[in-house]
């Protein structure tokens, strides 16, 4: 838990929250918050009554953590649905967010990107339905929000609402679609492995070429967080991103595939959906994999093993694809928003790496007692157009981290000038490591034409 100090107590008073630090049975610091309404809840797994409103920020103490506590009011303003309503059910809330149709007021403009091996991925740029101009200028300074859906390619209600919210806050949302996902043509016999960030890396370079003046942020949903975390770990300080958020991520993915979902209807639905999506490529996939084994599989592990473990072992596959394999190389702030009653991820204690958030200053965990999987419905969420709490929280996190690093850089430059190092034209410029990857430059630092063949790419 965040070991609150006297400084953070002062910050919490601005949120209308009193703070008391205790020790749980494992010796970790456990924070207890008491709101203005008198309701008290223990963070991270402690019992709560029907009136409790619990949100725990778990992270390593740092100046950024204190800044987030002071400026991210949404973190402590969460009132989950309780009582006799379907929104209080973790299972029904997950099904609703994943499957229920949503009449989105946004439309998408697709860029099909041809990769270095002739494969195709797609970026769907969200634009308002009333906008006549379907393309944004490359000189735009608007921030770009890269959205990575779940690893099964399903564009959920949650993703559509996030695009709508991001547009209303001045972002340029772009949804990343893997090979064969969401109508993307499969032009090679290669599918993207669970944690292989090679395709995403090329897509990010394209975004930097198209919008060189705008900051880049990333949000992943559910199992799509495995791809985002793999990318951030492999790229380190060269990720081009300012900050990232994982909504209801699955961290220990090998054991998640091996154990299966605790609720078999969810697993059955995911297996069926993946088989339907792959069935259109059954003939061509038969050249490299055993399609009979693939389509007779009854588990998520069976499907993944049939697709990617033809020439290697299951353990060797996850050595290359486990999302946290290079987690120590992540160089930007990453917020994970999780709920203790998540029916997809599973038990909190065994599926969330608490030690990662307690020891790594780049990782922050926002843990709620209720929220289901990518749900986080609130009592006031009566209208379908009302902004989801997790979407407000992630946008507030992006704003706060950007403002924090901007203030830090100004302070460093001021200190440098006072020391006589920044007065002249040749003075040194100090940059924070996390911001140096996304500095605004007029052009990309890589040769984009060596990566993409524009004459052979597809755009609609």
Active-site residue numbers?
Answer: 342, 373
What is the β-pairing status of strands 334-339 and 55-59? unpaired
- Kindly list the distances between the CA atom of residue 447 and the CA atoms of 30, 227, 343, 452, in Å, as whole numbers in the listed order: 50, 24, 45, 9
Among candidates 261, 250, 254, which has minimal Cα distance to 228? 250
Between CA 417 and CA 409 the distance in angstroms is: 12
On the 0-12 / 13-18 / 19+ scale of CB atoms within 10 A, 251 is buried
On the 0-12 / 13-18 / 19+ scale of CB atoms within 10 A, 426 is exposed
Between CA 217 and CA 372 the distance in angstroms is: 24
Please tell me the chain's helix, strand, coil percentages from 3-state DSSP, rounded to the nearest 5: 40, 15, 45
- Coil, helix or strand at residue 23: strand
Give the position of tokens 């639905």. 269
Between CA 17 and CA 37 the distance in angstroms is: 10
Between CA 179 and CA 411 the distance in angstroms is: 45
Two structure tokens written together for 76 = 């402590």
Q: For residue 30, which phi and psi values (nearest 5 degrees)?
A: -115, 125
What is the β-pairing status of strands 216-221 and 144-148? parallel
What's the residue count for the chain?
460
Between CA 129 and CA 145 the distance in angstroms is: 18
Sign of CA dihedral 310, 315, 320, 324: positive
CB atoms under 10 Å from CB of 26, counted, come to 8
Two structure tokens written together for 155 = 């564009």
Contact, 365 vs 336, CB < 8 A? yes
The packing angle between helices 389-418 and 63-71, to 10°, is 130
- Kindly list the distances between the CA atom of residue 318 and the CA atoms of 159, 325, 429, 452, in Å, as whole numbers in the listed order: 27, 9, 41, 30
- Coil, helix or strand at residue 362: coil
């Amino acid at each position: 838990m965040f070991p609150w100090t006297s400084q953070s107590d002062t910050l919490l008073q601005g949120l209308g929250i009193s703070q008391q630090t205790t020790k749980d049975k494992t010796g970790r610091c456990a924070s207890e918050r008491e709101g203005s309404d008198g309701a008290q809840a223990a963070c991270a797994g402690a019992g709560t009554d029907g009136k409790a409103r619990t949100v725990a920020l778990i992270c390593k103490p740092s100046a950024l953590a204190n800044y987030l506590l002071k400026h991210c009011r949404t973190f402590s303003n969460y009132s989950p649905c309780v009582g006799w309503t379907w929104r209080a059910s973790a299972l029904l809330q997950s099904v609703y967010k994943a499957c229920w149709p949503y009449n989105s007021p946004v439309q998408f403009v697709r860029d099909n990107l041809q990769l270095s091996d002739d494969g195709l991925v797609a970026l769907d740029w969200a634009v308002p339905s009333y906008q006549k101009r379907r393309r944004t200028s490359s000189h735009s300074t608007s921030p770009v929000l890269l959205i990575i859906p779940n690893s099964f390619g399903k564009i959920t209600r949650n993703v559509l609402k996030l695009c709508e919210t991001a547009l209303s806050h001045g972002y340029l949302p772009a949804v990343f679609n893997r090979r064969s996902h969401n109508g993307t043509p499969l032009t090679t016999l290669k599918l993207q492995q669970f944690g292989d960030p090679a395709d995403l890396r090329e897509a990010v370079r394209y975004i930097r070429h198209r919008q060189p003046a705008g900051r880049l942020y990333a949000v992943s949903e559910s199992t799509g967080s495995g791809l985002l975390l793999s990318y951030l770990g492999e790229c380190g300080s060269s990720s081009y991103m300012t900050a990232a958020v994982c909504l209801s991520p699955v961290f220990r993915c090998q054991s998640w595939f091996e154990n299966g979902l605790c609720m078999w209807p969810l697993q059955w639905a995911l297996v069926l959906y993946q088989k339907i999506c792959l069935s259109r490529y059954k003939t061509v996939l038969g050249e490299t994999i055993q399609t009979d084994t693939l389509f007779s599989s009854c588990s998520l592990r069976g499907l993944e093993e049939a697709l990617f473990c033809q020439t290697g072992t299951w353990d060797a596959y996850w050595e290359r694809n486990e999302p946290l394999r290079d987690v120590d190389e992540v160089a930007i702030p990453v917020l994970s928003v999780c709920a203790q009653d998540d029916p997809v991820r599973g038990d909190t204690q065994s599926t969330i790496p608490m030690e990662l958030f307690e020891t790594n200053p780049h990782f922050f965990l926002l843990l709620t007692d209720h929220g289901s999987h990518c749900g986080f419905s609130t009592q006031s969420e009566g209208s379908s157009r009302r902004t989801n709490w997790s979407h407000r929280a992630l946008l507030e996190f992006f704003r706060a981290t950007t403002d924090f690093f901007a203030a830090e850089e100004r302070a460093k430059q001021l200190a440098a000038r006072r020391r006589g190092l920044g007065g002249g034209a040749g003075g040194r410029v100090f940059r924070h490591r996390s911001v140096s990857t996304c500095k605004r430059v007029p052009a990309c630092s890589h040769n984009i034409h060596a990566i993409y063949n524009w004459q052979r790419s597809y755009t609609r």
